[in-house]
Chain A
């Protein structure tokens, strides 16, 4: 159950777009569309931002979008805002009937 691989940090200026990658294996990301993304501002609980690769729960701005190609999923945030600054985690269901998270990516809005 190795963690999914995410870049430790990304940054962008307000109004710009950033993309966070999440690389797994053929036993998790590559085999299922059961990929989700979570936002966690400092000192708070995680919040679901994307589920089933590219679906947004109600209330999540359409500036957040998800995609997947092979063993790698991606989260793109367009029109960056200061409030987007947080840690972001991807997650996938696995062939072992378990779940795995990525190591997390710290987004800094410059």
Chain B
């Protein structure tokens, strides 16, 4: 079965960087688009970034554009999110999610999330 396991979360000071990883298994990783979605404490879902199956296309929310970089290593079945210049508003649970077979417009499997806390 599909498994997505996020790691790399923690407490970080404003202005610093953090890299999140998502280990994928149970499906052919290299054939699916992938996403990062975040959820601030007590708030709703916010889409963060997406990458196509081969990594050639990458898209970002305006709130993170220029600060966050999504990448993937299809040889290691791993999705990453490099987060620079972190702000308090970036505090959230970050979910890794797999695109649906019918199109990466839909997220059909989600990890359990990793918490990022930006605080001095």
Q: Which residues of A contact B110 (CB under 8 A)?
A: 45-47
* A34-B103, A51-B108, A57-B108 known; A45+B44 contact, CB < 8 A: no
Say whether A101 contacts B61, CB under 8 Å. Answer: no
Q: Does residue A30 face the partner (Cβ distance < 8 Å to B)?
A: no
Q: Which residues of A contact B106 (CB under 8 A)?
A: 34, 36, 48, 51-52, 91
Say whether B102 contacts A98, CB under 8 Å. Answer: no
Shortest distance between the CB of A33 and any CB in chain B (Å): 9
Q: Does residue B9 face the partner (Cβ distance < 8 Å to A)?
A: no
Q: Does residue B100 face the partner (Cβ distance < 8 Å to A)?
A: yes
Q: Does residue B55 face the partner (Cβ distance < 8 Å to A)?
A: no
State A89–B106 Cα separation when bound (angstroms). Answer: 12
State A87–B44 Cα separation when bound (angstroms). Answer: 9
Q: Which residues of B contact A47 (CB under 8 A)?
A: 110
User: Can you list 28 A-B contacts (CB < 8 A)?
Assistant: A34-B103, A34-B106, A36-B105, A36-B107, A38-B107, A40-B45, A45-B95, A45-B112, A46-B45, A48-B108, A48-B109, A51-B102, A52-B102, A52-B106, A57-B100, A57-B108, A91-B45, A91-B47, A91-B106, A93-B105, A99-B47, A99-B50, A99-B105, A101-B37, A101-B45, A101-B46, A102-B44, A104-B44
Chain B interface residues toward A at CB < 8 A: 35, 37, 44-47, 50, 59-63, 95, 97, 100, 102-103, 105-113
Q: Which residues of A contact B37 (CB under 8 A)?
A: 46, 101
* A48-B108, A51-B108, A57-B108 known; A38+B45 contact, CB < 8 A: yes
Shortest distance between the CB of A91 and any CB in chain B (Å): 7
Q: Which residues of A contact B60 (CB under 8 A)?
A: 98
Say whether B100 contacts A51, CB under 8 Å. Answer: yes
Residue with the greatest number of chain B CB neighbours at <10 A, chosen from A1, A45, A89: A45
Taking CB as reference atom, which chain A residue is nearest B35?
A99
Shortest distance between the CB of A53 and any CB in chain B (Å): 11
